[in-house]
Amino acid sequence: MTKKKKQSAPTRRGFLKQSALTAMSIALGTKVVFANYLPADMLPIALTDATDFFDLKGKHPDLIVLNDRPINAETPPHLLDDALTPNELFFVRNNGIPPKNIDTKTWTLTIEGESARQSKSYTLADLKAKFASYSYDITLECGGNGRKEFNPPAKGNQWNLGAVGCATWTGVRLKDVLQDVGIKSDAVYIGYYGKDTHLSGDAKKVVISRGVPIEKALEEESLIAWEMNGQAIPMLNGYPLRLIFGGYPASASGKWLHKIVIRNKVHDGPKMTGQAYRVPCKPVAPGAKVAEKDMCIIEAMPVKSLITFPKSGATIKLNQTLPIRGHAWAGAKQVTEMHYSIDFGSTWQPCTINAPKNRFAWQHFTANVRFPETGYYEVWARATDSDNIAQPMLLPGWNPKGYLNNACHRIAVKVV
């Protein structure tokens, strides 16, 4: 008599996986197509896309406010569909309280420092009369954009994906003004000072004073700007004068600008030291403590992309083609390839990607997507830059402050 083989009991891991898929399908109202390709510990984006809305004066009512002292707000991805980000939709990232009662007739910008040949001040009228003006489409992105996805959680504003925008900035080249003042041969860095007030109310406390290497300051596209998309810069974005540095974290583009210092060393103002806007020089384990000496200043934003149409949660009929579009950017580099996936990154299909208008401008991509059956899908977007570096499908290297998350953007789609 043949002994009956005992059937093995399902493992707890397998049971949890199957029960989780069942629960997700119930929550979504349809089955998750290609569920076997969904990376472990990743929830469908449709279940994690909750947003909180708050009325923000001077901005679009659908901007998402992360905190109001200081004011910080991001833009939902589907509202970033324009080729250039309208002023009312441009994200807000502040460290202090914006100045009040601004008089543009008396506003001055002073250039000084140990590596300046002289100290010199300019009114706004001086800048406009003395120097040629230039306009560039430049993408600005908060270094912590996407911080919400880091685990263990990183301290700071829990940005989702909307702390980015591309606008036409108009002003004078920073290098023209610096050269008018005179730059000593030992110049290494520039630093800025704005007129925002510290949250404590102490007028003597500097809110933030970051900077860039002198080589970056002298680039053609580095601007002292007074216009955004042909209008005065909005108050929350730095009116009446701000710096614009493409390819760097937006915190380098100082707002309410009233002083620039030319330094003979790396600038050491507030938010330039410690772990602020720095990442580990070498990869570290999630949750690791990193010594200050092992942290490096962020000097380049990574390749990234964003699907701006359709809004996550779209529903279409089977055999209907879904047009998608969005933007891609790569710091000072160009995006050379753009792909999308509907099977959680198992396979990738090409998108059409346009060339940038100028360096540091984001690029626009489009594609037409078809789905093989009814059910729940995610459309993932992946950009590849001119150095053949592609976005990671999942969260990139963990860092204590949650900077530089450039994981693939994904939207939920239901096919019925």
User: pLDDT of 306-331, one tens digit each?
Assistant: 999 999 999 999 999 999 999 999 99
pLDDT band at 18 (very low <50, low <70, confident <90, very high): low
User: pLDDT of 188-231, one tens digit each?
Assistant: 999 999 999 999 989 899 999 999 999 999 999 999 999 999 99
The pLDDT assigned to 23 comes to: 67
pLDDT band at 14 (very low <50, low <70, confident <90, very high): very low
The pLDDT assigned to 381 comes to: 98
Is the confidence at residue 112, as pLDDT, over 80? Answer: yes
Is the confidence at residue 7, as pLDDT, over 70? Answer: no
Tell me the mean pLDDT in the region 175-180: 98
User: pLDDT of 69-100, one tens digit each?
Assistant: 899 999 999 999 999 999 999 999 999 999 99
Is the confidence at residue 17, as pLDDT, over 90? Answer: no
The pLDDT assigned to 35 comes to: 82
Domains with residue ranges and CATH for the chain: 95-154+164-273 (3.90.420.10), 304-415 (2.60.40.650)
pLDDT band at 46 (very low <50, low <70, confident <90, very high): confident
- Hunting for tokens 């992946």 — which residue is that? 382
Three-state SS sequence of the chain = CCCCCCCCCCCHHHHHHHHHHHHHHHHHCCCECCHHHCCCCCCCHHHCCCCCCCCCCCCCCCCEEEEECCEEEECCHHHHCCCCCCHHHCCEECCCECCCCCCCCCCEEEEECCCECCCEEEEHHHHHHHCCEEEEEEEEECCCCCHHHCCCCCCCCCCCCCCEEEEEEEEEEHHHHHHHHCECCCCCEEEEEECCECCCCCCCCCCCCCEEEHHHHCCCCCEEEEEECCEECCHHHCCCCEEECCCCEHHHCCCCEEEEEEECCCCCCCCCCCCCCEEECCCCCCCCCCCHHHEEECCCCCCEEEEEECCCCEEECCCCCEEEEEEEEECCECEEEEEEECCCCCCCEECEECCCCCCCCCEEEEEEECCCCCEEEEEEEEEEECCCCECCCCCCCCCCCCCCCCCCEEEEEEEC
Tell me the mean pLDDT in the region 352-365: 98
Average pLDDT, the chain: 92
Is the confidence at residue 29, as pLDDT, over 80? Answer: no
Is the confidence at residue 54, as pLDDT, over 90? Answer: no
